[in-house]
Structure 1
């Protein structure tokens, strides 16, 4: 049960009027074991099945049990002992049992619209082998098999799949047998450890298989036939990842097998089906893509779920953070182990960026949230990065040893079972000896986050530093947070460290020092979940950027300097770009230089391209050059796009930035590269996005052509998204309306994004229909959000847009003026 606190902040913008509190269903039976025989009719996208379910009544008041079974044709229901009666209403099979213990036999068939997906050859991929794969989360496996479809249910499972000869079938657990019968290849899989039904999985197709053993665990990697040479780069760190988690958690990998299966057209990046993760084939890549692309984060995240999500599962969807937030943090901790502290902190910073984008652009909600319409709505940046950052803060608060022991005890206490937020809190309290109610109240049961403003004042006569910290968070957050904070004060080669506890809306801290500090850094390791702003000059920020050793402080400085602009900011950012030893800081410096939009900054970016080889930094520089529209930037970007030695994603960024030049003659130049082979069509996508930025009738004609069904999904999606750059064009609205009914999930996602980009009333009919009728809940929600945003924008009127554009123009003029003044001052100082 979730405690409802009198001071709870329910958030902003997440719920709609009809939303209600949702609670787990009451089941009056438990399943002891489930056996499914399944026949696949791949060409007709159909199935037939026989489910054998060992059921035990647990409610003596009734003999009726209900199984979730959506849009199936139920041929018969029988039992041993026999059942008394049954009926089917299209979503549930209601069965009157004749005994407390019954083995049910449910024979059925159907053509699932979701839960089980049939991927056949298409115009875009005529030679692709057919595949079948399932996706059960949240409650979609009941579209292809009758069961109790809720995460609170756990039982053992086996499946016998009849697939066409030559097909490989992968499922949960261990392979019992494989044999040929007539026209069928028959695969029998069994997992004798209880697990939740949304984790049941099958994949059928023609695959290349790679097997290796690690510490007694069979590691299996399946890739589409002919893709074997790409498997190593994606999966080679799997043993290292499993070894790290087993040691960090002091809980060995709990199963005998771990398979990873890359499939076509998967609707997510990956799904942690127990012992058999399904991944998108988009993660497979070649050596050139490996320059600035990695499967490691995806592989690490899905592997972490084998402990958190599979071994221990959230009791109900409001507690999904127990699966997702913990996996997010474990993924980041593997980054620390594999690549070091700088990479780890940069991952935390980017997680914060992801959360803040959702917070600012969409909504704020408590992480533990019971009011929703679709359970999939809870799979957002609150449950993933925000929760991971809060857990990282908990790790710092109670200490890493206590945190690790807490995770271990939680796993042992709830292994092969389910748990909720209070179970986790109490476990962490047991191992740490601390009361953590205040922590969970603040960060899990309330929306928003702390927002701090820091002001520094040095008094030379008393040798005292006064640090004023204000909590300035808005109404969607608690008015005051209790926050532990570390403070570093830098004085020459000396760093003084302090620990404070913030508990007031505004606090002043006084530090006795021997000399004026060079600078102060609050929370240098980014352990406390919060945003922070300072009142500082460009010179103060420059000292931090160029002299501090903490990635968090340096990146805050780079971003601040990009907003301040001026000569000193550009000098410091240029030096950081060229000399910083960590690529993440260099990336931030490049972005910041682009934000200043000054001639000096452009020169720095162009110079850097001649000196820096790191592809991620080069990519950021190309993106930043999109803010400049002169000949020098244009020529450099053209050269990069044409250079086969550049990475795919650097060339992609160059193509997009070229489009931002808005030069009509660049259309033909961009089109030279639209068919260049690249990982996930990245260069083609760069060209299409560049054409969207470029504008014009020729670009529009190309975008319409590439949105058609004879193009690959990623290419179509990029073309559709770029159509959002063409407001007021009837042909755009017409094609978006047609594509809103496309069978491809990603295409319909792109339609919503394009409509949101257009922000015109003509798109409302499209979005309203999708919000009402789309098969996928997440698309219904995103379409509704986009329509709501457009309506609010229309209420504000066009004056708001004009005012914002004028403000941006004035800001840019002020930046340029400040740069000139700074340059004049420096010249005068030099002459003096």
Structure 2
């Protein structure tokens, strides 16, 4: 699953919503240094337990005090532990026959389940069946069975017709109706647990298409059919779905037949012969055009498209066939399933979901070829969900505590794909963003173990630990054992555990069996302990040696190790050439002596940048310049440019490196160099103009246009006019914004011609122009884009909307706030839109409050301000996304 979150970059988001300027580039800042530490002293004090004294007794501890201390420190109960579901019956096969009542949002179903006891004899079967209404429960021969529902109507317990012994199969038939919307709730990274969703079921939402789709993870498919809804269950599947002829259907496995069902209806029969977990069952119904791609190794590849996007299918779901080849070869296990289908649906409650052979994505994936230029998020998500078909679908975590065995691998597939397709710089840049997402998450909530047994709710597992940290840990493991051993271990793991559920020890043993090495230290440290190293590094040179001191400063609360075992490389550069040293850090404070015939230009710690750690290694401008010149890794160049830009000393050296960085081979370095320029020299200005005209990365062109606008460059007007003809909409939008400064009349004429383009960058740019001009006649245009804008562009567009509202009349403001409140309260909306709407209400309230103070107005305006305050409290109370809850604290 790809989470529907704010990408984990909470710190970046906080910066974005606190700024009034438009975000100009995809470049991000390097990980922050660790805070000052007191944990060394605290750890040493804890080690002196034999020296504990009692001030009340002059150093002698009484029996009463000892007893009191023991009562406080020793718990009376075992800690909570979310263990794997205890299986009593093995679900062998599931046959579903379903149709729908769109008006009532109901599933009319018949489920036929074939099972057998796992080991002990049993005459009782308990299934997950959330709020299902049963007309009858019978054996296959029609014998009626007694059953009871628990008080919460979550589970049904059936008394079988006799006790069945191990190996004896039996079949139970359920005639039922499901109404998922009745009891489904909002929550977590997956923003609703209804299981099955009707979109615009009664046709009341204008042009929005009518659809039905499912979202089973975590345990929500049991809202539309009875099952053992646990990740360590596995079953084959048949699905007969009856729908109106106008709709296409998609499910797992292959479409066996499609037969008329009378009254303008049709029954499609889908069959999955290979066993998979019930949460991976999928069903989609809607008005789609099926785009068939060329088969891959005899396997059908297709894309279910909304008709307007059908011509752009391979841009929306890029490199699908190429990825199937790559991941099959990389793992040594050929894609094991009978087809590969992908679909984007409306109002999806997560980012994407790896339903076996039938992947569902949110509508954010949709766009035209021009929309998707330089947009690599689509291919990352395609890679993520595809890799799940090995890690998650073929081999499945046995409990949600082990979720990173699914999501960590899917997360790491994004790195693997970027490395293969776009090179190491692109992969490392992606990894840096993943690190930042994880580091940002632990700034706002305590770290926990990757294999997390004491969570409060299984939905908490869908966080930057299971995903970001899980992928980073796999990268470290790959680096430690080497590529050959890493991928051989994965092949062994997949082959040994195919079509079964696993826990982390089985991954460890696969690596140990392959490499012959005891890796318990690695798994204990990175999977079963929490946190990451926080390192302070200092270096000195004397007498032909580099002295490198490494201090581990991490706090040891929450099961974070006081000392991490860190095998790592160090590069010592002299005359532009590195000599590499392997060191083993296994102490809290440790100094290493590295031979060097000359004083080095720079020392680079962890030159492969595989270690998940926050590192504080202060360097001089000369060292940073050498690091940029000589160290090949993306992160070394990126950090060098970013840190040099913030220094006031050595201006000539700084200009030299920034000039070089403007011409770097990787776009993010060019982007950070552009952001770092304040008063470019003539030589730099010439490069910036060339970037604005011809850079091969649209975000970088847009950033250059922004810089030229900021410094009021004399050649801005013709460059901005050229940008309006660019293929990438992001460049067109930046060109329009630049033209406002250089040629307002020309910008006004161009703006009118661009209103027909349905693109987020264009819409945000136009909204910004209209808000500055105060043209209230443009409110309807901005309002028409409120529910289609997303990501950072939503922040920009909604900010412009509230700025324009502030210049309007009370009636317009009241109506606008009502629109914003509706969006902010709707948990099916994108979290970015909810954030943007909430921020807009807060900003508008602040603006209008200032007006009240100046004018002394206590009438309708004051009433609206009070209503906005009430609305903000309602929005905070209704919000389910943890990241948004944190952000909303400032409103």
Return the TM-score normalized by structure 1.
Answer: 0.81
Match of 1:158 in 2: 238
CA contact (8 A) 1:720 1:750 kept: no
CA distance in 2 between counterparts of 1:179 and 1:42 reads 21
Q: Deviation of residue 591 (structure 1)?
A: 3.5
CA distance in 1 between counterparts of 2:526 and 2:751 reads 50
Match of 1:266 in 2: 348
Question: Per-residue CA shift, 1:660-695, capped at 9, x if unaligned?
Answer: x9x99999799657735155x33214544x479x78
Pair 1:282-2:364 in alignment: yes
CA distance in 1 between counterparts of 2:554 and 2:109 reads 55
Q: Deviation of residue 431 (structure 1)?
A: 1.4
SS of 2:336's equivalent in the other structure is coil
SS of 2:228's equivalent in the other structure is coil
Superposition pairs of residues 97-176 of structure 1, within 5 angstroms: 97-99=160-162, 100=164, 101-113=169-181, 114-120=194-200, 126-127=206-207, 129-176=209-256
Q: Deviation of residue 252 (structure 1)?
A: 1.0
CA RMSD of aligned residues (A): 3.9
Match of 2:602 in 1: 519
Match of 2:257 in 1: 177
CA distance in 2 between counterparts of 1:161 and 1:373 reads 37
Match of 1:683 in 2: 762
CA contact (8 A) 1:124 1:709 kept: no
CA contact (8 A) 2:720 2:739 kept: no
Match of 1:712 in 2: 788
Q: 1:444 aligns with which of 527, 539, 546?
A: 527
Q: Deviation of residue 616 (structure 1)?
A: 4.1
Match of 1:15 in 2: none
Superposition pairs of residues 531-546 of structure 1, within 5 angstroms: 531-546=614-629
Change (3 A) 1:482 1:60: closer
Q: 2:468 aligns with which of 382, 385, 396?
A: 385
Q: 1:71 aligns with which of 131, 148, 152?
A: 131
Pair 1:293-2:389 in alignment: no
Superposition pairs of residues 285-684 of structure 1, within 5 angstroms: 285-294=367-376, 295-459=378-542, 462-475=543-556, 477-565=560-648, 567-568=651-652, 570-593=654-677, 597=678, 606-607=688-689, 609-610=691-692, 612-619=694-701, 621-622=703-704, 625=707, 631-632=712-713, 639=720, 643-645=724-726, 647-652=728-733, 672=752, 675-679=755-759, 681-684=760-763
Q: 2:334 aligns with which of 252, 259, 268?
A: 252
Change (3 A) 1:484 1:56: same
CA distance in 2 between counterparts of 1:358 and 1:301 reads 21
Higher relative contact order (CA 8 A, sep 6+): 2
CA distance in 2 between counterparts of 1:312 and 1:507 reads 41
The structure with the largest alpha-carbon Rg is: 2
Match of 2:70 in 1: none
User: Could you tell which deviates more after superposition, 427-436 or 666-675?
Assistant: 666-675
Question: Per-residue CA shift, 1:292-318, capped at 9, x if unaligned?
Answer: 124321221111110001001111112
CA contact (8 A) 1:615 1:647 kept: no
Q: Deviation of residue 451 (structure 1)?
A: 2.2
CA distance in 2 between counterparts of 1:749 and 1:64 reads 47
Match of 2:74 in 1: none
User: Could you tell which deviates more after superposition, 573-582 or 243-252?
Assistant: 573-582
Match of 1:10 in 2: none
SS of 1:63's equivalent in the other structure is strand
CA contact (8 A) 2:772 2:804 kept: no
User: Could you tell which deviates more after superposition, 280-289 or 338-347?
Assistant: 280-289
Pair 1:196-2:277 in alignment: yes
SS of 1:287's equivalent in the other structure is coil
Q: Deviation of residue 541 (structure 1)?
A: 1.0
Match of 1:227 in 2: 309
Match of 1:29 in 2: 89
SS of 2:518's equivalent in the other structure is coil
Change (3 A) 1:67 1:297: same
* Unaligned ranges ≥5, structure 1: 1-6, 8-18, 792-832
Change (3 A) 1:53 1:290: same
Change (3 A) 1:205 1:35: same
Return the TM-score normalized by structure 2.
Answer: 0.76
Q: Deviation of residue 238 (structure 1)?
A: 1.8
Question: Per-residue CA shift, 1:32-56, capped at 9, x if unaligned?
Answer: 1110001033465332111111133
Change (3 A) 1:427 1:286: same
SS of 1:380's equivalent in the other structure is coil
CA distance in 1 between counterparts of 2:563 and 2:674 reads 36
Match of 1:11 in 2: none
